[in-house]
Amino acid sequence: MKVLVFDVWGEYAHFRKYYTTTSPLTFSIPPRTAVCGLIGAIAGLDKSEYLKHFTKDQADIAVKILSPIKKVRLSENLIDTKNAPMMSKIKNRTQIRFELLKDAKFRIYLSHKETELYQKIRDYLVHHKCIYTPCLGLSEHIANFVFIGEFNCEMNTGVEELVKIDSVIPIREDSNVKIKFDENGGEYFHETLPIEMEEDRTLREYCKVAFERNGTPISANLEKYWLLENGERIVFL
């Protein structure tokens, strides 16, 4: 099993929590669905169809925190583009306070069963090219990326001892994950993230995901994890 690894970052990011409306809050890490959109933009997949290429039975995706999670709140002017034929004629503006991630940086791991698409994504990452502009959640939060490498990966199962996991850790209802908190201090959180969507964008699956705010590895007992040849241990979302 081969895995593509690349880093993505931006000055700001916003991954909107599904239950917020007039004061949008952001997830601390990009949901799997947002990562699918990011990769789809790089590969040039149409917005209406990219989701069908990244179902869980086709694509394995993991996320690692590279920069401490910092959140700020900024006011943005939202404009009504439907009631004016020209941008210069728009008069209606609504100011909304958005919660944003500041200086966000993540490492993305991707494995895909569709060889042609996998190779296409790999070529774009290697040559730092993209069809559509990649962004971190919203179109105004443009992202940069760099290819780290392509690594062999093997799955380890039936793990009884504590293992340091570099990625965020999904904790599903039927799993038996046990996390050991660092005695020297650590900031541990969990959030319930959207994992998979239908093509009409109705959500198919949520999952609780655990992470350490500063991106340090988490010691845990797991039923399975994946070991990359560069030494990183990850769990796919």
The pLDDT tens digits of the residues spanning 125-136 come to 999 999 999 999
Q: 76, 77, 79, 63: which is closest to 27 by C-alpha?
A: 63
pLDDT digits (tens, 9 = 90+) for 9-28: 999 999 998 777 777 999 99
Q: Hey, what amino acid is at 43?
A: A
Q: What is the pLDDT of residues 212-228, one digit of tens each?
A: 999 999 999 888 899 99
In the predicted structure, residue 115 carries a pLDDT above the cut 90: yes
pLDDT at 88: 67
What ranges do the domains of the chain cover?
2-234
Lowest mean pLDDT among 73-77, 82-86, 106-110, 181-185: 82-86
Q: Which two tokens stand for residue 188?
A: 């541990």
Whether 232 has a pLDDT exceeding 90, the answer reads yes
- The answer as to CATH 3.20.20.190 being correct for domain 2-234 is no
Max Cα distance, the chain (Å): 65
Looking at residue 152, what is its pLDDT? 95
55 within 8 A of 198, measured Cβ to Cβ: no
Residues 220 and 147 sit within 8 Å (Cβ to Cβ): no
Q: Kind and range of the H or E element at 74?
A: strand 71-79
CA atoms of 25 and 99, how far apart (whole Å): 5
Give pLDDT, residue 159.
Answer: 67
Whole-angstrom distance, CA of residue 92 vs CA of residue 194 = 33
Q: What string of DSSP letters covers 121-170? A: HHHHHHTT--SS--BSSSTTSB-EEEEEEEEEEEEEES--S-EEE-S-EE
The predicted model scores a pTM of 0.92
